[in-house]
Amino acid sequence: MTETLKPMIYIACLAAYNAGKLHGKWISAAQDVESIQDEVRELLKLSPEPFAEEWAIHDFEGFGRIRLGEYESLEEISRLGLLIERHGEAFAAYAAYVDTESATEERFLDTYLGHWDSELAFAANVFDELYAHEVPEHIRGYINYDAFCCDLFLDGHIGVESSTFGLHVFYDI
């Protein structure tokens, strides 16, 4: 089971902030960049300070372990938000693991091997998929899944990222 994330950013009006006033708004990141820009413009228009033009991201949630900067581009926010909405926590884990600039939907889909309770559960599944048909039933109890798991993750071609309820597994990161 994986957690559904709702990527949100808190945009603060810097004119109000510098005047000691809190004026900001939580905005969904899972929308096109033009919609986010419209919401930022509306926030600045309603500022308690005249001539408010500058803003910053003062908080965010629903991005998993991805860290956003105060002045992250709205294009990047939208891109990540839409991909997290489409693929959930798995994409957020992937983007945090490889770095957000390298995290494309195509690469994610090519490398994602699923959500597992543990590395051992993943390794046992891989072994069974690849070799169970070759191993006689009376010998299967002697298979050392722990050793196979260790070898499987040893070469670095498979990476894991913790999730709320287990881990996400990626190939050849």
- Compute the mean pLDDT over every residue in the chain, rounded to the nearest whole number: 93
Whether residue 1 is predicted with pLDDT greater than 50 in this model: the reply is no
DSSP state of 139: G
**Average pLDDT rounded to a whole number, residues 51-60:** 97
Q: What is the end-to-end Cα distance of the chain in Å, rounded?
A: 23
Non-local (6+) Cβ contacts of 129 within 8 A are none
Determine the pLDDT at residue 14.
98
Who wins on pLDDT, 62 or 160? 62
* pLDDT value, residue 165: 83
At 19, the amino acid letter reads: A
CB pairs under 8 A, 24+ apart, for 69-72?
none
Burial letters for 104-141: b for 16+ Cβ neighbours within 10 Å, e otherwise?
eeeebeebbbebbeebeebbbbbbeeeeeeeeeeeeee
| Segment 71-119, tens digit of pLDDT | 999 999 999 999 999 999 999 999 998 989 999 999 999 999 999 999 9
**Cβ burial, residue 31 (10 Å; 0-12/13-18/19+):** middle
All structural domains of the chain, each given as residue ranges with its CATH number in brackets, are 8-98 (no CATH), 113-171 (1.10.10)
| Distance from the Cα of residue 48 to its chain's centroid | 35
pLDDT for residue 111? 94
C-alpha span between 50 and 131 (Å, rounded)? 70
The alpha-carbon radius of gyration of the chain (Å, integer) is 22
Q: What is the pLDDT of residue 161?
A: 86
> If you average pLDDT over residues 38-43, what whole number do you get?
98
* pLDDT for 155: 79
- Give me the mean pLDDT over the 142-147 stretch: 93
Q: For residue 42, what pLDDT band results from cuts at 50, 70 and 90?
A: very high
Q: Identify which of 87, 86, 111 has the alpha carbon closest to the alpha carbon of residue 97.
A: 111
pLDDT tens digits along 3-19: 568 999 999 999 999 99
pLDDT tens-digit readout, 70-83: 999 999 999 999 99
pLDDT score recorded for residue 162? 83
Q: How much is the pTM?
A: 0.86
What is the average per-residue pLDDT within 21-33?
98
pLDDT of res. 173: 61
Please report, for residues 8, 20, 33, 133, 163, the alpha-carbon distance to residue 53 in angstroms, rounded to integers and kept in the order given: 21, 16, 18, 66, 38
